[in-house]
Structure 1
Amino acid sequence: MLRLIPFFTTETQLIAALRRGESRAHKVAYERFSGRMLGVCMRYCANRDDAEEVMLDGFMRVFEKIDQFREDGSFEGWIRRVMVTESLMFLRKNKQWRQEIPIEDAVIEPDYVWADSAIHENDLLRMVNQLPDGYRTVFNLYAIEGYSHADIADLLGISEGTSKSQLSRARAILQATILKAEQEQRTNEHGTQLRKKSS
């Protein structure tokens, strides 16, 4: 007799199957969300191997704690929060995020708005990933995940002043990196135009 493989046409059906512990539901959830969740973990972890490990741990936590999802927000958003928590646990375990910086040492941000730059999103994410671990963690939590400095202080066990100073330094580094990239791009474009005129 042919055994029918369950197919989850709605998110509600998928969640119900996850709560029943169906392995097919685990596979479907992983296939549906792993790409985006790997991106979340990669924003916190220094390399892809660590990010993949954290993501797998995160999915195990999702499957174990599925009954804690109250359906008062999006399922993907809940999974994302689990992945952020797992990433922070990984950083804490490996002591990669405790970079204490006094607020008085914070770099003052320039007046221009770096976020208005025409730089490509993938380039910006690459620049964020190159930030020191503490800066990157605070920047991601504040600028991407939307946590307040008070929340970040609680999550990381640091002061609000340290959170603010790390965000300020992260932005300053990104601004400088973006300006350098834009200057290099303009120089390259100018050189290309000169070569075309001379040919």
Structure 2
Amino acid sequence: MNYTDEELVSGCKRGSSKHEELFYKKYYGYVMGISLSYSKDRDLALEIANDSFLKFFSSIKKVESFQTVKAFLRRITVNTAIDYYRKNKKYQSHSDLEIEIPNQNEVNALSSLGFEDIIKLINQLQEDLKLVFNLYEVEGYSHKEIAGRLGITEGSSRVYLTRAKAKLRQLVHLHLQEYEGR
């Protein structure tokens, strides 16, 4: 039997493990997709996804409208990824990047890249660069919001975004070279 979000959330609010399991199965791909966009490592993405579900189920009573379930779940998942970043950022190293100005061929190459190619390139970014890039470009957070959530300055957020874009340009350039060499 297929349950509606309303039925699943009502069951979860009652503490029904059956409804929690069905909700998990229904939204696993969605949450895992978000988690993967914030982590290079599949195991870490799975940990983020599972923690996100645990947080969702523990705060299920806050869900007032069944139309907002997916948005609420997304917000929890993004915040969980941010928490993992904060917890692990002391172990990350920052490498200097050569910043290049893209030429017209590279700009045209972006339009020829497929969705999966772009995701693969983004996944090659350092975790901190990838996180800021996703928060700014995908989620639409401002630099002020990113700074507040990550415990960095707005200037650092801008620098991380600039570095992420510069690294992506380098990766596109390398991708083009590989493509032209085939």
TM-score, normalised to structure 1, is 0.79
Q: Between Structure 1 and Structure 2, which shows a larger proportion of helix residues?
A: 2
What is the match of residue 31 of structure 1?
25
Q: Could you list the per-position Cα deviations for residues 85-143 of structure 1 after superposition, in whole angstroms to 9, with x for gaps in the alignment? A: 11111121122687789xxx994764765794221212221221211121111011111
Q: Could you list the per-position Cα deviations for residues 18-49 of structure 1 after superposition, in whole angstroms to 9, with x for gaps in the alignment? A: 11111111111111111121121122223111
Match of 1:163 among 143, 157, 166: 157
**Are 1:97 and 1:137, in contact at CA under 8 Å, matched by a contact in 2?**
no
Q: State the identity %.
A: 32
**Are 1:114 and 1:175, in contact at CA under 8 Å, matched by a contact in 2?**
no
TM-score, normalised to structure 2, is 0.85
Q: Could you list the per-position Cα deviations for residues 128-179 of structure 1 after superposition, in whole angstroms to 9, with x for gaps in the alignment? A: 1211121111011111111111110110011111111111110111122112
Opposite residue 71 of structure 1, the aligned amino acid is S
What is the match of residue 4 of structure 1?
none
Opposite residue 152 of structure 2, the aligned amino acid is I
1:10 equivalent in alignment to 2:4: yes
Q: 72-81 vs 129-138, which deviates more?
A: 72-81
How many residues get paired? 179
Q: Secondary structure at the match of 1:95?
A: helix
> Following the alignment from structure 1 to structure 2, what is the Cα–Cα distance between the partners of residues 114 and 141?
25
Q: Secondary structure at the match of 1:36?
A: helix
> Following the alignment from structure 1 to structure 2, what is the Cα–Cα distance between the partners of residues 72 and 13?
9
- Unaligned residue ranges in structure 2 (runs of 5+): none
- Unaligned residue ranges in structure 1 (runs of 5+): 1-6, 189-199
> Following the alignment from structure 1 to structure 2, what is the Cα–Cα distance between the partners of residues 41 and 137?
11
What is the match of residue 89 of structure 1?
83
CA-atom RMSD in angstroms: 2.7
- Rg: which structure is higher? 1
**Are 2:100 and 2:170, in contact at CA under 8 Å, matched by a contact in 1?**
no
Match of 1:59 among 53, 56, 76: 53
